[in-house]
């Protein structure tokens, strides 16, 4: 099966996701989560990648990144996953036992309007949706928790957003998404389809040759 198209143009925002192979645990102890956050902080220091939002879950993670230059997304994610894999194996004394991640990261571009807010909300309420906490901001391993703490150091490697954050953001994040929002987001995750209004999606598809991300799944005619 051919690989799906990969978009890594600069100046666009992206949702990025990766999982542990076999959906096994990726983070089990607080130190496991903290080690990955340290890698994110190092990535910001090394590359100036903008980390707008994130949420680390027991067997996967979500990032909202806002790279500045073409190719930055792929290069940063390569460094993050390779570095995390190496340190994970060293910590667990499992070097040579196989991959940590299920494969390449999944990603899709996000229009920087209300669609960006929808994606950031989706990421930051992930632990609440999984019923790991009663309030989204209570999940220690997320950008939402960091931004709600009275400690500027905790927010130092998080970036500004390409638009203003709503004043009632906490209340908004703690409200469920609609079924249609979740379905649209899941399609973008699965197929790499740009997430935005119809005209913006069409422009992105045409500009970057992403026609495969909007085609209906199934066998091609005549096969």
83-138 pLDDT tens trace: 999 999 999 999 888 899 999 999 999 999 999 999 999 999 999 999 999 999 99
CATH architecture of 13-213: 2-Layer Sandwich (3.30)
DSSP secondary structure letters along 31-81: HHHHHHHHHHHHHHHHH---EEEEEEETTEEEEEE--SSTTHHHHHHHHHH
Mean pLDDT of the chain: 93
Span between the terminal Cα atoms of the chain, in Å: 14
pLDDT at 220 over 70: no
pLDDT at 53 over 80: yes
Average confidence (pLDDT) over 62-91 = 96
**Number of other residues whose CB lies within 10 A of the CB of residue 31:** 9
- Beta-bridged to residue 205, according to DSSP, are none
pTM of the model: 0.92
Give the CA angle between residues 71, 194, 157 to the nearest 5°.
50
- Is residue 17 within 8 Å of residue 119, measured between CB atoms? no
Place of tokens 């379905």: 183
pLDDT at 5 over 90: no
C-alpha dist (Å) from residue 127 to 57, 72, 130 = 7, 28, 5
* Cα–Cα distance for residue pair 101/104, rounded to 1 Å: 8
Tens-place pLDDT, residues 154-164: 999 999 999 99
* Cα–Cα distance for residue pair 171/3, rounded to 1 Å: 39
What is the bridge-based pairing of β-strands 51-57 and 106-110? unpaired
Predicted local distance difference test score (pLDDT) of residue 217: 62
- Is residue 100 within 8 Å of residue 60, measured between CB atoms? no
Predicted local distance difference test score (pLDDT) of residue 86: 96
Predicted local distance difference test score (pLDDT) of residue 122: 98
Give the CA angle between residues 132, 136, 141 to the nearest 5°.
70
Average confidence (pLDDT) over 200-204 = 96
Predicted local distance difference test score (pLDDT) of residue 36: 98
Predicted local distance difference test score (pLDDT) of residue 35: 98
* Cα–Cα distance for residue pair 174/125, rounded to 1 Å: 7
């Amino acid at each position: 099966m051919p690989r799906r198209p990969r978009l890594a143009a600069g100046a666009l925002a992206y949702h990025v996701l990766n999982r542990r192979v076999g959906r096994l645990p990726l983070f089990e102890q607080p130190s496991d989560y903290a080690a990955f956050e340290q890698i994110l902080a190092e990535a910001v220091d090394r590359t100036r990648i903008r980390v707008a939002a994130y949420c680390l879950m027991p067997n996967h993670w979500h990032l909202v990144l806002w790279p500045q230059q073409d190719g930055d997304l792929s290069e940063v994610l390569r460094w993050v996953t390779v570095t995390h894999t190496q340190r994970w194996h060293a910590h667990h004394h499992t070097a040579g036992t196989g991959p940590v991640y299920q494969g390449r990261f999944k990603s899709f571009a996000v229009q920087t309007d209300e669609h960006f807010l929808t994606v950031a909300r989706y990421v930051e309420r992930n632990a609440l949706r999984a019923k790991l906490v009663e309030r989204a901001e209570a999940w220690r391993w997320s950008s939402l928790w960091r931004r709600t703490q009275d400690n500027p150091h905790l927010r130092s490697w998080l970036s500004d957003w390409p638009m203003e954050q709503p004043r009632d953001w906490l209340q908004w994040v703690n409200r469920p998404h609609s079924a249609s929002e979740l379905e649209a987001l899941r399609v973008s995750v699965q197929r790499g389809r740009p997430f935005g209004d119809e005209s913006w999606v069409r422009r992105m598809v045409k500009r970057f040759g992403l026609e495969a991300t909007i085609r209906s799944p199934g066998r091609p005619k005549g096969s």
